[in-house]
Chains A and B, each alone.
Chain A
Amino acid sequence: MISFVLNRVAQAAGVLLAVGFIAFSLFTYVGDPINAMVGQDTSQQEKEELREKLGLNDPAPLQFARFIGNVVQGKFGLSYRTSDPVGRLILERLPATLELALCAALFALGVGVPLGVYTGLYPRHWTSRLLQAVSLIGISLPTFLIGILLIVFFAVILNVLPSFGRGETVKFGWWTSGYFTVAGLKALILPSVTLGLFQLTLIMRLVRSEMLEVMRTDYIKFARARGLSNRAINYGHALKNTLVPVITVTGLQLGAIIAFAIITETVFSWPGMGQLFVQSVQFADIPVMAAYLLLVSAFFVTINLAVDLLYYVVDPRLRGSTGGRH
């Protein structure tokens, strides 16, 4: 057990170190940090002095160690675009993305699981077939198109929901929250639906197929033979058995949600990390990109680690198999 945990933690650390190396290479070799700092009229000699002062002439491993040291302290350098410290830029935008991601995940789970159960229990009913078809359309429509359509319908035509931004936010220290004002909650609806829709269809399809599979097992047949009520079988036995994969997949999807927030945030002008990332890609703002990469990988690696360990706790047989996704 301990060796397994240690092994996994070591692997996670290795991944982070590798990503850190990529980020470091970007930072050091792609964006010339000197050119970003000085004006055009700086002389070559001044640039050279600056290189020396910043330690850019040191051997690469030393520079890398220094980079990691800075990152651990939250120092990611200055943005090329706004010349703000990158750490602060990202921290300012973190709450917006996390709150949106959480809402989207809750929406996907809250709607996806019941629909999945329903279509799994009554696979031949016409509503199930309809839901299946609609879910395929949901997967096929690009997120940005869904966002645009929602804006047109709910913000422009019906004029009931805001089309951009977070509405009013409340401050708790450095954290800003949109959960405590009506305007903030209203602003969350359209982006959450847009972001959660893909995951919703995914969860629905997963729960459906798990349910179909479980319902075929001897275990359920015996339960039926024992004369248990349908209700007890469906929810007490069948659903319970499908929950483990659903929870793990949802956990893994949380990372995907944070990444896909890039698109939703752009469509809704949502002031989160994703929007920041797209802007920095357009500007080739390497420090911001590097920091975002590191942060998001830290998220992913942590989530994967948690899921791996959960697997181990719940079902040792599952050890070693990770879910493939795209």
Chain B
Amino acid sequence: MSLRDRIGRAADSDIWFSFKASPVTMVAAGLTAFIFLAALLAPLLAVQNPYDPASLNLSDAMKPPVFFGGDWSFPLGSDDQGRDLYSTILYGTRMSLFVGLCCVVVAMVIGITLGLVSGYVGGAVEAVIMRIADVQLTFPAILIALLIDGVVRGIISVKRHDEIAGFVIIVSISLSLWVQYARTVRGSVLVERNKEYVQAARVIGLSRWLIMIRHVLPNVMGPVMVIATINLGVAIITEATLSFLGVGLPATQPSLGTLIRIGNEYLNSGEWWITIFPGITLAALVLAVNMLGDWLRDALNPKLR
């Protein structure tokens, strides 16, 4: 199939149609794309690298945004260490998105693997995996993430916790999100397993693993993508919350949540911009991603709630 055909087919598809029919979704998609792009190009767009302490100058601290008494060298103002807020938000968004995406990918890999295994192997393995899933599903992500973080703090000395904070966060959040994938995949495997085409493939002697990966997996990718999109919002919020609670990313490598925590101290003293701008960015990002998720869910499977 040529590329042109592919594009043509995509343009005719239901998804594209439903996308075009919903202006709100198009705005959300545009916003998401914009934020992703800005985060991706952060080193090019930023005027300063806020993670490099040598580039900061203390005498630039607490500059107000440009229309509130500041000037264009710090368009959104600066924070308590003289970091340009515009640059910091770009890098912070990058960090939030990076952590969020990593969490989603890791959770997806774990979830799909365990889902396939339990649906395919069945028996005791399935029982154990699904029981763990049941238990874990009773706990909200934030609680599990906090718990894992606390345990890590207990194991490794606090000394080096800051250095691997990002890694710890990704592991904590991923481990709290895999269950939905596993359940969905397992459910589909159970359904597809007995379908005729799978039986037929088996008759012609394809290995069962190959069948799973080549035939069953593509069929469950729709719902998996929906979950992934919705989970991206959840992961970003969870990371921001952990950072806000002071157990997330350190102030030397701020994500949006860390920035909000830092700025919160200055909210009463009139330096509102340190909290408000990252807050708006975070809310816009999550809102856009959630709107896309909502739409994708309705478009792919109106029955899935």
Contacts and interface: CB of A to CB of B under 8 A. Distances in A.
B139 interface: yes
B214 interface: no
A295 B138 CA distance: 13
A145 B143 contact: no
Interface stretch (A58-66, A101-109, A227-235, A297-305): A297-305
A326 B180 contact: yes
B267 to A, nearest CB: 6
A262 B180 contact: no
Contact of B241 (A31, A143, A304): A143
Q: Chain B: interface residue count, which band?
A: 35 or more
A284 B231 CA distance: 28
A30 B142 contact: no
A317 to B, nearest CB: 17
B143 A296 contact: yes
Most buried by A among B143, B155, B244, B290: B143
A15 B290 CA distance: 32
A286 B149 CA distance: 11
A145 B233 contact: no
Contacts, number: 119
A314 to B, nearest CB: 19
Contacts of B170: none
Interface in A160-177: none
B66 interface: no
A44 interface: no
B71 interface: no
Q: Chain A: interface residue count, which band?
A: 35 or more
B247 A325 contact: no
A140 B286 contact: yes
A256 B140 contact: yes
B275 A325 contact: no
A312 interface: no
Interface stretch (A48-56, A181-189, A214-222, A273-281): A273-281
Given A136-B291, A326-B180, A255 B283 contact: no
Contacts of A144: 240-241, 244-245, 260
B263 to A, nearest CB: 9
Given A31-B154, A139-B290, A326-B141, A289 B147 contact: yes
A286 B247 CA distance: 15
Closest 3 CB pairs of A and B: A281-B150, A140-B287, A284-B153
